[in-house]
Structure 1
Amino acid sequence: MTTDTAPRCFALLPCAGSGTRAGTAQPKQYQAIDGMPMVLHTLSAFGSVAHIAQVLLVVAPDDRFLSIDHPDVRVLPCGGASRAESVRNGLMALLEAGALAHDWVLVHDAARCLVTPAQIGALIAACANDAVGGLLALKLPDTLKAEAGGRVSATLDRSDKWLAQTPQMFRIGPLLEALQAQAGKDFAGVTDEASAMEMAGFAPKLVPGSAQNFKVTYPEDFALAEAILRSRS
């Protein structure tokens, strides 16, 4: 890809979900952990990475929880009915605001509030010269079982299995094209950005992540996340 400008790195956080499995009275990304909403821990990590030109938070159209006055953070109420739709809408907003198709975007779960600047930097370093891009991921540590009728039907080979994490880093143009190609099917099968790129024929790079970079999903996850944050401080 030929361009006159060096590609920039943007961060996009889909933040329009309700997080029903978390059992919180409000969307889980706004649940306080160690004294402040989860999403603010996530923003703090990205704000500490010099390579990130701007962070875009994609929230639901009626979301008024966050009001951030910072030149490097934008809150846009263009969230969709699914994560994939929110990311697609956010990518379009980035392009409309002056980002270029060859610029990089790091898409990250707002609920992965334990990500560190070092992990973000490692992903950028690993993918900056890659033709496709990639994602943080963790080699499967446990024995993997297949199930049938509530019982084990087989033990599967785990040697080539990875748990996908975020951020996931791709060029804005190709990622938007990959998502648009699945929009007519309501983004069926698009569980993350890498899956959309795979459907488009690409093979994203796997970059080793950390077990601490887990997605806060269930009620018991909040206590664990808070313990880890307190141990760091």
Structure 2
Amino acid sequence: MINFPHQFAVVVPAAGVGKRMQANHPKQYLSLHGKTILEHTVDNLLSHPQIDLVVIAVSDGDEYFADLGLAQVNNIIRVSGGEERVDSVLSGLEYLSEHYAGRYPWVMVHDAARPCLTHADINKLINDCQQANRGGILAAPVRDTMKRSCVQNGWNTIDQTVDRGQLWHALTPQLFPLIELKSALIDGLASQKVITDEASAMEYSGYRPLLVQGRSDNLKVTQPEDLALAEFFLSQRT
């Protein structure tokens, strides 16, 4: 069994602009119950007893982060985010490997726009990965009928129905060894692979990440209607 550390660091990529939200500022700074989405997300992480450092990757031109209370918290580190999510994650990992590699041999990555993560799911991710002797991700089994599309005369049409029996929605956090994840991201970028999450980079390296079933209300705020849903989920817990 892997000898996991008692404490973990989390990298939070927060350099996105959130174009699909149709808002006048990035989605991570939209308000929920009097706090920004990013504040909910980071507060939620740092209130977990096994997380004591959060590295937030923010774009250099960000006009909002410095005004948040998060910017003054000692165990929150700001690093420069990149153009793509993978660039921001790699920036956070490089900071950790330079300053904290011995202290945090394993690292989590969590989306800035997932404010509804529960501590129970964090516990399950840590415990299951330790029991299985491998890194893994929170995920939710697909419930809906899945269709593969094709384009005909400029319209999306159904090409076939896909068996959902082995399909999962990838969530975060995702938990992997720091050095291995950093190497996988660097190699994936050098090979021009499409890296949509940390697990995909690890897969390209021949790693088979664990799927840990998490709550489906750990949603990522992406569309305007997601904001109301996240607000509802948070209000139910408080």
User: Partners of 2:92 and 2:38 in 1: how far apart?
Assistant: 17
Which residue matches 1:219? 224
> What's the CA shift for 1:71?
2.3
> What's the CA shift for 1:125?
1.4
TM-score, scaled relative to structure 1:
0.92
> What's the CA shift for 1:98?
2.4
Which residue matches 1:193? 198
Which residue matches 1:52? 51
> What's the CA shift for 1:128?
2.9
User: Partners of 1:6 and 1:219 in 2: how far apart?
Assistant: 38
Corresponding residue to 1:72 among 75, 94, 104: 75
Helix, strand or coil at the partner of 2:12: strand
Q: Which is worse superposed, 6-15 or 103-112?
A: 6-15
User: Partners of 2:235 and 2:105 in 1: how far apart?
Assistant: 35
Q: Give the residue type in structure 2 aligned to 1:29.
A: Q
- Structure 1 pair 8–228 and aligned structure 2 pair: CA distance change class (3 A): closer
Q: Give the residue type in structure 1 aligned to 2:15.
A: A
Q: Which is worse superposed, 123-132 or 212-221?
A: 123-132
- Structure 1 pair 6–31 and aligned structure 2 pair: CA distance change class (3 A): closer
> What's the CA shift for 1:53?
2.7
> What's the CA shift for 1:119?
1.3
Which residue matches 1:114? 116
Q: Any conservation in 1 of the 2:15–2:57 contact (CA below 8 Å)?
A: yes
> What's the CA shift for 1:102?
6.8
TM-score, scaled relative to structure 2:
0.90
User: Partners of 1:79 and 1:196 in 2: how far apart?
Assistant: 18
User: Partners of 1:103 and 1:49 in 2: how far apart?
Assistant: 18
> What's the CA shift for 1:185?
4.3
> What's the CA shift for 1:28?
0.5
User: Partners of 1:212 and 1:7 in 2: how far apart?
Assistant: 27
Helix, strand or coil at the partner of 1:128: helix
> What's the CA shift for 1:231?
1.8
Q: Give the residue type in structure 1 aligned to 2:164.
A: R
Q: Which is worse superposed, 214-223 or 115-124?
A: 115-124
Residue 23 (1) aligns with residue 22 (2): yes
- Structure 1 pair 196–164 and aligned structure 2 pair: CA distance change class (3 A): same
- Structure 1 pair 151–6 and aligned structure 2 pair: CA distance change class (3 A): closer
Helix, strand or coil at the partner of 1:215: coil
Which aligned runs of 4 or more in structure 1 are off by greater than 4 angstroms? Answer: 5-8
Q: Give the residue type in structure 1 aligned to 2:184.
A: A
Which runs of no fewer than 5 residues in structure 1 stay unpaired? none
Q: Give the residue type in structure 1 aligned to 2:173.
A: P
Corresponding residue to 1:146 among 145, 148, 153: 148
> What's the CA shift for 1:129?
4.7
Helix, strand or coil at the partner of 1:137: strand
Superposed, 1:72-91 pairs within 5 Å as 72-76=75-79, 78-91=80-93
Helix, strand or coil at the partner of 2:202: helix
Residue 35 (1) aligns with residue 15 (2): no
Helix, strand or coil at the partner of 2:16: coil
> What's the CA shift for 1:130?
4.1
- Structure 1 pair 189–142 and aligned structure 2 pair: CA distance change class (3 A): same
| More helix, by proportion | 2
